[in-house]
Chains A and B, each alone.
Chain A
């Protein structure tokens, strides 16, 4: 058995791609309500027209109407969004920009004429820490998210030490992988309140300032009466070591890993919580119980040491995720009020933590991408499939990779899988019967749905899962950001990601998705 490398398939590999197109009669890709409405209304008009006057002209008008509508609402090949959807996204960006919703200025940085004077950034909305003072769970720092369009939910940020720095054998990887799968499956079981799990990997240039400080304290120069050659040699040793530190600071990166536990405030949850204690105390008790299980299972899944973060460390982590200027370990004196840094968005990027002209730190140009539905290759992936993006980028790029995984009950997922497999089988059989030559899409989709069906077979212990990945890249200037994004595209291609959607006109909206707040996905 060979040692696992990025290029070798693991004995326990997985496939994430394959769902390359949408199923169903219209096969409309993820779309806005408006787009869907346009489609339905057009169909209604066409039917009415044909019923009222079955003339050649009516037929011609209907054909034109259908053509135009299809052009508008059907996504072009290889795209997730229709033309109408993209127009809506552009239009909405302009509206948000006009209302100042795409900017945020911290209260102490507000000047006359400042834009984005919000209490919390608009894309984050109403988020407040639960007041647990006086309860047995006062050390927990739980955020209560109350955006209007979806269920309210709670999140807790945890730090993990990660899988390690060493080389692992196939067996070690396989065991860890299996444990992670079990962790996810356990979340889908009845009686668990955890609704989804997020992971964040933050990569920054290695900061060796602390090392230099510690070493300086240990230096032991030769005595003043030592020969000049010895004193000169010591200076040379110092200069040389400084160069080594500078070299490593340039080429090394440091990684921080976080877990985001999200609990939806469903009716069942609130009822169960009310039986424990009234209000937030009851919520906190149930969340704490979930965290106990999560930390124990996550440790055995190879995530290393898992720690639930308190207010200061959560805020420090949030700031470090927004700007490389802030260290995740420097959390002294921070409060929730310090959590968000100012930003302003353009169509293609955000500028985070921009200061006035005198401050050398003049903002971090940030671009966020997601992996679209058709953006994964249908290939077997080993445990280090994402290593080109996570750890192997050269030159180094400041980046955040965030995942969201929502396990779903096996029974529900099985019903969905049966439906999809039936559709795919039927489509394939029909195409074969009609002698149609397929581009491979139907076969890949059938494989994907069949795989799900097999995984979800009763007794397998697996559950369904929905997932999303967001990637944020940061740089000190737009030029460098463009280069970094190009490098990221290449690294993603090496990781079997065929496309990254850089979310044009949605950068402000996508920002919270990489901040460990359990955002970015419509489940």
Chain B
């Protein structure tokens, strides 16, 4: 019997050469992997074969002339737009994403012709105008910490159409209802916080909030249809000085009733101090009769429950949601109420803007149904505000639907013409189409395009740029939030 040396047996099983062994091999004994091949120079080409297309493609060309080859310019679509702005949708013509931000455009030296932050959204009802305003200038803008103020004139069900958006964003609309009632809000006509239109809330030398007298004066003038005389204004000034003292004695904030009382019953001591006996309290009472009567009519009539009490807490300039919606849908279109409330809102807004502009913060004012508010004195105020928008860090967004209905000299038309951006939605009336194109300074060749725009698509016209055909993109949440058909189709809005 032959004895086999165990070492030899192991050698036979594993082999002498480590690379021939089977099974697990210690790392140290593993053979080095074969080296990768060295890159070689490109193969030498044979001339004939190369000409024949053996090494690279050599197809025969088409024959034409440079006149016909004009259409071979294939750079049809521009490279992507700027990505530091909010997404709007898709450019139908090029398929590229469209972004937009009026504040960034204004600051961008590459857009030298973008000189104003006034935006007009023009289009027929139901074409997506309102949806764009809600998603782009309210919902998406709030992400960037900008303050958004909405004037909501369009009624949807029991409230304005922005009420669901305000609720979804954690706030509630400031709703003005003649006669007041549950859910309605008030703005105190002589609230010191409303009348102040300076950044630091300064007061006049006599302790009256700056701008308060002018506000009350304009409210009365709006109702009367003519300005107060000098004597009436003087009586009003004295009344505004006296009203806070009367309220303080009662331990509450002054309101319009205090002012009316003080106009009717001037304080003889105060009058003596003020005029050194030159004029009497009876004279002041007489001068203030017209103002007091006007205010009495307002608080007992059209503006009952609107300006006749302390300012409601929701009329806050600091709501953490960043959104303030003034629901004016319940106010009648005729009469002085709408104008006076708008005046109050404007004054409130002026104070807000002054404060935010000082802090270099931007504000967006969205005015649905712009034609309602941009007329008369109010229109002039909006026009003024539009002019000051740069200084105030304000972007004014106004929606309009039938531009041909607006007179040539109307402030609304001026507002549209001063815009540097127009979002143009579909129109069907030829006169509206013509007017819209004229306002946005577009060639008449675009009329068929404007007429054929389907719902949800618009032309985005920026000053100094070609108009873009945009399909507005919205999320499911935004679609749900901006659905204005619930009333029409009878949806109850949830289980």
Contacts and interface: CB of A to CB of B under 8 A. Distances in A.
Interface in B324-377: none
A229 B71 CA distance: 57
B74 A509 contact: no
A463 B66 contact: yes
A360 to B, nearest CB: 24
Nearest to A211: B83
Interface stretch (A41-49, A55-63, A181-189, A477-485): A181-189
B74 A201 contact: yes
Given A164-B78, A255-B77, A522-B53, A391 B320 contact: no
Given A125-B45, A211-B83, A14 B68 contact: yes
Contact of B61 (A181, A244, A302, A406): A406
Majority SS at the chain B contact face: loop
B144 A220 contact: yes
A405 B39 contact: no
Nearest to B45: A148
A115 B276 CA distance: 109
Contacts of A218: 143-145
A244 B474 contact: yes
B272 to A, nearest CB: 50
A263 interface: no
A255 B170 contact: no
Contact of B55 (A12, A466, A468, A509): A509
Contacts of A169: 443, 445-446
Given A92-B54, A383-B71, A385-B71, A185 B66 contact: yes
B58 interface: yes
A39 to B, nearest CB: 15
B45 A147 contact: yes
B83 A405 contact: no
A163 B76 contact: yes
Interface string B55-73: 1111111111111111111
B143 A390 contact: no
B299 interface: no
B495 to A, nearest CB: 20
Interface residue range, chain A: 35 or more
A28 to B, nearest CB: 11
Interface string B21-64: 00000000000011111111111111111111111111111111
Nearest to A368: B57
Nearest to B99: A211
Interface string A224-263: 0011011111101111110111011101111111000000
Contacts of A229: 170
Contact of A2 (B91, B97, B445, B477): B445
B89 interface: yes
Contacts of A149: 45-52, 55, 58
A417 B214 CA distance: 84
Contacts of B474: 244
Given A19-B62, A462-B67, A3 B465 contact: no
Contact of A32 (B52, B63, B79): B52
Nearest to B51: A149
A167 B39 contact: no
B388 interface: no
A248 B145 CA distance: 23
A228 to B, nearest CB: 8
A167 B446 contact: yes
B221 interface: no
A455 B68 contact: yes
Contacts of A220: 143-146
A32 B145 CA distance: 68
Interface stretch (A272-280, A343-351, A396-404, A427-435): A396-404
B95 interface: yes
Nearest to A372: B59
Given A3-B446, A122-B42, A188 B47 contact: no
Contacts of B47: 148-149
Contact of B475 (A168, A226, A244, A462): A244
A28 B456 CA distance: 55
B95 A30 contact: no
B56 A519 contact: yes
A268 interface: no
Interface string A488-523: 000000000000000100100110110000011111
A135 interface: no
Contact of B37 (A114, A122, A170, A230): A114
Given A164-B78, A253-B95, A396-B95, A119 B65 contact: no
A241 B475 contact: yes
A178 B70 contact: yes
A510 B58 CA distance: 9
A164 B66 contact: no
Contacts of A231: 170
Interface in A454-491: 455-456, 460, 462-469
Given A302-B73, A386-B76, A405-B72, A237 B94 contact: no
A166 interface: yes
A236 B73 CA distance: 45
B94 A244 contact: no
Nearest to B461: A166
B445 A117 contact: no
B247 interface: no
A181 B74 contact: no
A512 to B, nearest CB: 6
Interface in B438-487: 443, 445-446, 448-449, 459, 465-469, 473-478
Given A166-B466, A451-B68, A510 B57 contact: yes
Contact of B76 (A101, A162, A215, A254): A162
B37 A239 contact: no
Nearest to B321: A230
B49 A239 contact: no
B45 A201 contact: no
Most buried by B among A118, A148, A407, A513: A148
A319 interface: no
B448 A2 contact: yes
A160 B45 CA distance: 34
Contacts of B78: 161-165, 255, 304
Contacts of A396: 95
Contacts of B93: 165-167, 391
A169 B466 CA distance: 10
B73 A303 contact: yes
Interface string B72-105: 1111111111011011011101111111000000
B46 A16 contact: no
A468 B62 contact: yes
A181 B64 contact: no
A195 to B, nearest CB: 13
Given A117-B40, A390-B76, A147 B56 contact: yes
A246 to B, nearest CB: 9
A164 B466 contact: yes
A506 B45 CA distance: 17
A73 interface: no
B67 A455 contact: yes
Interface in B165-186: 168-171
Given A148-B45, A206-B97, A117 B38 contact: yes
B57 A513 contact: yes
Given A251-B473, A520-B58, 4 more contacts: A19-B62, A241-B140, A386-B76, A391-B76
24 contacts: A2-B448, A16-B72, A112-B35, A117-B36, A122-B55, A148-B44, A149-B47, A149-B50, A165-B98, A167-B459, A182-B66, A203-B95, A215-B143, A237-B139, A244-B473, A255-B95, A370-B57, A386-B71, A401-B74, A451-B68, A460-B67, A462-B66, A468-B62, A512-B57
Interface of B: 33-81, 83-84, 86-87, 89-91, 93-99, 139-140, 142-146, 168-171, 320-322, 443, 445-446, 448-449, 459, 465-469, 473-478
Q: Which 8 A-B pairs have the closest CB atoms?
A: A166-B466, A149-B50, A220-B145, A230-B170, A226-B320, A522-B58, A229-B170, A466-B61
